[in-house]
A and B are shown apart, each in its own frame.
Chain A
Amino acid sequence: MSMKALNQLVARSIIDPSVVNAFSYGDIGAVLSDLDFSSDMRVRLEHLEAGSWAEFATLAYRLVKAAEETVRHVQLPSPLEGLLPGDVRADEQVA
């Protein structure tokens, strides 16, 4: 959900000056709290150091993308494990 929330935020920023103003005044946390970020992600985004809104958006994209890729990676089964609970590993069959 974080990437969807970030997409919404950046899309909104091109027509809503309040987003960029909040960033400029160091108050982006107030805007982030209205969006569907986890509390951990919100804190990490609030602490990003960026020289401009566009730079913040890019750094936020890196952060959210990396977090979502980590989650996907964790959810993948290991190739060493059988796909079904009763499966026997190939190397055990050979032995």
Chain B
Amino acid sequence: MIPVTKDERQWLLRQLALGLVEYLGVTEPPVPVEQLLRNPPALYDDDFGVVDMFSNLWDATFARPPSQRGSIFVRMDLDKENRRYALARELLSALITSKHGRKMGLSELLLPDLRESAEYFASQLLAPEPLVDAYQAQGGDDAGFANAFMIPAWIAAERWLEAV
């Protein structure tokens, strides 16, 4: 495997997120991440699912039981914004471990920095550059950013700084 810089990894993650946003045909925020998981592209039928559960240990985690569909197990008491972020973050694990993701060779590039990659991927999926650009062009400001994109405030603050 070739060594990959942070810039290269983030570029790849941005494009993967944009591919999914384009698949959804989203033209304005918020990006419907749960819809993507419940109605995935056909090649991910065996990889995307959402299971609500009680947990005090974590917000969400992806698991693929042997010979079963992969699913994101998510705490059912999360607020809307944190639920969307947790699902988007764990979606990267679903992609990496899917049949198509393995064929792409995503694991070799992304597993060594999975947590950081997943968090970056989630921020790009929920606030993709074209939608952020359009929001800013229409006079949207940082105060309404988290609300418009339905993302946690701390993610919104980071993403806004990146986009300015």
Interfacial residues, chain A to chain B (CB-CB below 8 A): 7, 10-15, 17, 20, 24, 50-55, 57-59, 61-62
CB distance from B2 to the nearest CB of A (A): 6
Is the Cβ of B43 less than 8 Å from the Cβ of A15? Answer: yes
Q: How large is the interface on B (under 10, 10 to 19, 20 to 34, 35 or more residues)?
A: 20 to 34
A contact residues around B19 at 8 Å (CB): 10-15
- Closest Cβ of chain B to A57, distance in Å, is 6
- Given that A20-B103, A58-B8 are contacting pairs, would A11 and B15 also be in contact in the complex, using a CB cutoff of 8 Å? yes
Closest B residue to A54 by beta carbon equals: B105
- A-B contact number at CB 8 A: 67
Residue of B nearest to A50 (CB): B2
Indicate if the CB atoms of B2 and A53 lie closer than 8 Å.
no
Instruction: Say yes or no: is B11 at the interface (Cβ < 8 Å to chain A).
Output: yes
> B residues within 8 A CB of A15?
19-20, 22-23, 41, 43
